[in-house]
Structure 1
Amino acid sequence: MRVAPAPLAMAETYRAAPTGEEAMRGLALVAFGYGVIACADAAVKWVMPEVGPAAALVWRGLIGSLLVFILARGRGLIPVNRRLLAVRSLFHCGVSITWYYCWASGVSLADSYAVASASPLLMTLLAIPLLGEKVGWRRWTSTMVGFGGVIFMLQPGGELWRPESAILLVATAVMALTRIWTRVLTRTDGPYAIAFWLLLAHVPVGLLGLPFPFLWPAAGGPPPVLPSLIGLLALIAFGIANAVAQMLFARGFALAPIQAIAPFEYTPLLWGIGLGFLIWGEVPAWTTLGGAAVVIGAGLYNVHRERVRRAAERAARPG
């Protein structure tokens, strides 16, 4: 997809190759963003029986976009690459409502994240034609090893072998594409614009989903105009966390290469295991835990490679 031209100063800012230190900072931002989004997911999964997937999408968009607008003070929100920003936002809405539907259908947080762990391999593959990035054999190996752990978790007859897993796999492929588009958008647009328009798009898409019963609360009937006080607090926390995470992703993806970021797609699995156990008493199958150990190793190895790159960069500097 064609990227709209940016002003010269902005183009120089976004096209400059990040240093090793900047890449490490980008990885830290992305890692923190995944932790924040996992807490947001736990909040919305908890309130899902009360509001349903469609209303959750509306609340996410309203609260998240409002927070971004306040933080940006109304500035930096005019997009440059409008077409890509619009397409990415709509695709992301589809991913979100798919996840909400699966959670409402009883899929645990850890299991949904286990399926989504297929995203890093897809991101690595898509980064080659879409971003022109080069992937070294060491990172190829670590990413493939991590994906092997995902395959182990999805084995036939296992806990994850269910219809919702197939739906989540499709959503994961779309999610990988939106992650790549995030990197493309950072060449022309800032974090505020990227986060604001993505979150705002959730409002009309969620409203369009309200007439469909399969997107209503578990108890049946349309969602309430105002949820309970505890439910409302959970939705506010959910919206705020999403806004923060999207801004962290927008900045982090601008600094670190996709192949280095890709293994961090595995970290929500760890958050999901912990949060699922603490909130709902969910205990993943041993296959999920075994696969998690593999993907953790893959992610840690990529962090190690980034540190090696930074050390080599420092050694090469004069003085």
Structure 2
Amino acid sequence: MPTGAEATRGIGLVVAGYLVITLADAAVKWVLPEIGAAAAMICRGVIGGAVLLAITRGRGIFPRDRWLLTRRSLAHCCVSASWYWAWANGMPLGDSYAVACLTPLLMTLLAIPMLGETVGWRRMTSTAVGFCGVLVMLNPGGDLWRFETAVLLVATCIMAVTRIWTRVLSRTDTPAAIAFWLMAAHIPMGLALLPVFPPPQAGLPGAGIIAALLIFGAANAVAHLLFSRAFALAPVSVLAPYDYTPFLYGIGIGFAVWSEVPAWSTLAGATLVIAAGIYNLHRERVRRAAERA
């Protein structure tokens, strides 16, 4: 059972991690028209892996649960490719994060078969309300009524699985190993996707693009190191409410950089999803307290 100080540190780390990863996402969204999704994945793996090796000096990067770590890393690469492809096709940052708000609700459902957890009628009802929020966001003719949203919904399901696997891996592997092998997996996956997502522009990128890629790769390395450490310090029920902070960050950055303003249906639907997720977390804490009592 973590102490109050450990839980507080975990919250601080996860909040910082989400801010850093949002800045990294904004950087890659800016460079995607120049380099494409596959090259972005390769840069993330090379730069992020190098930064992690420099930070950790190679200590703690050797995995223990190799099979689960491999599955988690490759699955997360599929999530990255989906988001980069959607951004390259012009999907706003805030809209994509609105879809990602579904992740905690999916984790509630997936914890039943994957972790053997039980979910009562209250949490099942609030989860159903959250899925109604998704239907509001998918208002026919609205901003999210597009093919990219369907791809991101599938990617969000995969992301929920990787989050649960991260929780499991935190019991056996170090934050450095979890973060490093995730970065490393992006290199072969990016190379494999190069024929599918070739760079739109021929030749070497300019100095501004290279600077953005360096920020992107380094920020991803730092963010995932923070996430892994946070999950090792505090339980998911404490950290999960902060899953929604990227949505707020994304709206602000999207407006500041690209003048993106989410539609009313996106905001209304995301509000329902977030409210349902927070209620589920409340019920989870109540259930844990009853078990301890």
- TM exceeds 0.5? yes
Is 1:270 aligned to 2:248, yes or no?
Answer: yes
Q: Does 1:45 align with 2:23?
A: no
The share of aligned pairs that are identical, in percent, is 63
Confirm whether residue 216 of structure 1 aligns to residue 198 of structure 2: yes
After the TM superposition, which residues 300-319 of structure 1 pair with which residues of structure 2 at under 5 Å, given as runs? none
Change in CA separation of 1:142 and 1:38 when aligned onto 2, cut-off 3 Å: farther
- Give how far 1:141 is off: 6.6
Alpha-carbon separation, structure 2, partners of 1:136 and 1:256: 23
Q: 1:154 aligns with which of 138, 149, 156?
A: 138
1: CA distance, partners of 2:223 / 2:118: 27
Match of 1:111 among 95, 117, 129: 95
Tell me, in whole angstroms, the C-alpha distance in 2 between the residues paired with 1:111 and 1:93. 20
1:272 deviation in Å? 1.2
Name the Cα RMSD after superposition.
2.8
In 2, are the aligned partners of 1:108 and 1:282 still within 8 Å (CA)?
A: yes
1:88 aligns with 2:66: no
Structure 2 unaligned residues grouped into runs of 5+: none
Give 1:66-85 correspondences, 5 Å limit. 66-85=50-69
Residue 49 of structure 2 aligns to which amino acid in structure 1?
A: S
Q: TM-score, normalised by structure 1?
A: 0.81
Partner residue of 2:149 out of 162, 165, 171? 165
SS at match of 1:75: coil
The amino acid of 2:175's aligned partner reads: P
Determine the structure 1 residue equivalent to 2:222. 244
Equivalence for 1:204? 188
Give the residue type in structure 1 aligned to 2:198: W
Q: Does the 8 Å CA contact 2:105/2:277 hold for their aligned counterparts?
A: no
SS in 1 for 2:22: helix
Cα contact 1:62–1:200 (8 A) shared by 2: yes
Superposed displacement of residue 29, structure 1:
2.1
- 8 Å contact kept, 2:170–2:228: yes
Alpha-carbon contact 2:110-2:161 (below 8 Å) kept: yes
- In structure 2, relative to structure 1, the CA distance for the partners of 1:138 and 1:263 (3 Å cut) is farther
CA deviation string 1:143-173 (max 9, x = no partner): 6655543332223332101111111111110
Instruction: Decide whether the 8 Å contact of 2:240 with 2:281 is kept in 1.
Output: no
Between stretches 48-57 and 155-164, larger displacement belongs to 155-164
Matched residues in 1 for 2:166 and 2:36: separation?
Answer: 28
Question: Given the alignment, which residue of 39, 42, 46 partners 1:62?
Answer: 46
Aligned residue pair count: 291
